Amino acid sequence: MQQVGAKTFVPAQIADPRLFPTPLPAPSPYRRWLASLSHIAVLHRRALRRGLLATLVLASLGGLYVGREPVGAALERVLTLAEGQVTGAGFAIHSIEITGQTLTADRDIVRLLTLGSGPSIFTFDVAEAQARLQWLRAVQSAKVRKVYPDRIIVDITEKTPVARWRLGTVTWLIDARGERIGTDRASYPDLPLIVGQGAADDTAIMMRLLNRFPALKTGLVALSRISDRRWDLIYKSGLRVQLPETGTAEALGRLDQYQTEYQLLERDVLRIDLRVEGLVTLKPGPVAAEAVARTMVRPHKIKGPAEYETPVERAQTALPDDSTTGTAPE
């Protein structure tokens, strides 16, 4: 041991040992890596959370895609088993009651009702069934109800046909908008028949015009569309009324006036031509033509002055008569 002299402590000063630095050992690479991760977690915490969530979602979707067939088969077996248990417990659909259908076949309604639904009343979707029934041409609305434990009740409201449209060899029933709603099954013989290409498109307008003149609809059996420009009215008696291309309402008004004043539609007339404004042309029938021929004024044959024998005979021949020769009776 070596002694230190007092002179050595002459320049010494009093110091607080807590101010002396503590030497730290050099950090290992592992600690530096952890520190870096800690800094990243603090600074980018929100971005890391979103990335982790997206990764989990993608992983879940990938797992579902890979195992879709086994999972689907298992679910189907479970549902089938459950449905079989429910059906066996008395909840199978045993009857379907349909009301309001005239133009729509029952088999078409039942086919759409059972499309995609199982035999159990619990798996039957009322809203979906009602939406499917709207696909049918003649159905305007449908109301479907489930009556537990085993009945389905369907109330159909069909569109109202206003005319029959003959297209080729098929006669369609059309509604007020000119849309085909079903084929004619001889259930509406009183509806007027529409013929001609493009007739259905203008039927609604023509029917509204005819509704303003009820007298013109009596005995009307057909409306013929001519060159997709104008209409002809055809009546049960064989009368054809030719309407103009423009001013159809005014022509119908004049025809209604003639019917009111002269009962023109009930007379022996084959054709009434209203195509020229302010002019009505009639083609009489055979009986009317004969009556007109009898009432026509015919020219008289008048004798010359030398042919008169007496003044009395001259006066008699000057009088009008109905004979065919034009000579006065003796």
Residues in the chain, how many?
330
Mean pLDDT in residue range 199-227? 90
Flag whether pLDDT at 124 surpasses 90.
no
Q: Quickly count: other Cβ atoms within 10 Å of residue 156's Cβ.
A: 21
- Give residue 315's pLDDT: 35
Share of the chain above pLDDT 70, in %: 66
Contact 316, 328 (CB under 8 A): yes
Q: Give the domains, in start order, of the chain with CATH numbers.
A: 90-158 (3.10.20.310), 163-294 (3.40.50.11690), 297-330 (no CATH)
Residue 85 carries which side chain, given as an amino acid letter? Q
Any residues with CB less than 8 A from the CB of 194 and at least 6 apart, and which? 163, 164, 165, 166, 174, 200, 203, 222, 223, 225
**Model confidence pLDDT, tens digit, residues 204-214:** 889 889 999 99
Considering only residues 214 and 56, tell me which one the structure prediction assigns the higher pLDDT.
214
**Model confidence pLDDT, tens digit, residues 297-312:** 555 554 444 443 444 3
Band the pLDDT of 198: cuts 50, 70, 90.
confident
- Give residue 309's pLDDT: 44
Band the pLDDT of 70: cuts 50, 70, 90.
low
- Give residue 64's pLDDT: 67
Beta strand segments in 94-227, E: 95-99, 139-147, 151-158, 163-167, 170-174, 180-183, 193-195, 220-226
204: phi > 0 → left, psi -120 to 50 → alpha, else beta; which? alpha
- Give residue 314's pLDDT: 38
> Does the predicted TM-score (pTM) go above 0.85?
no
Flag whether pLDDT at 263 surpasses 70.
yes
Contact 328, 302 (CB under 8 A): no
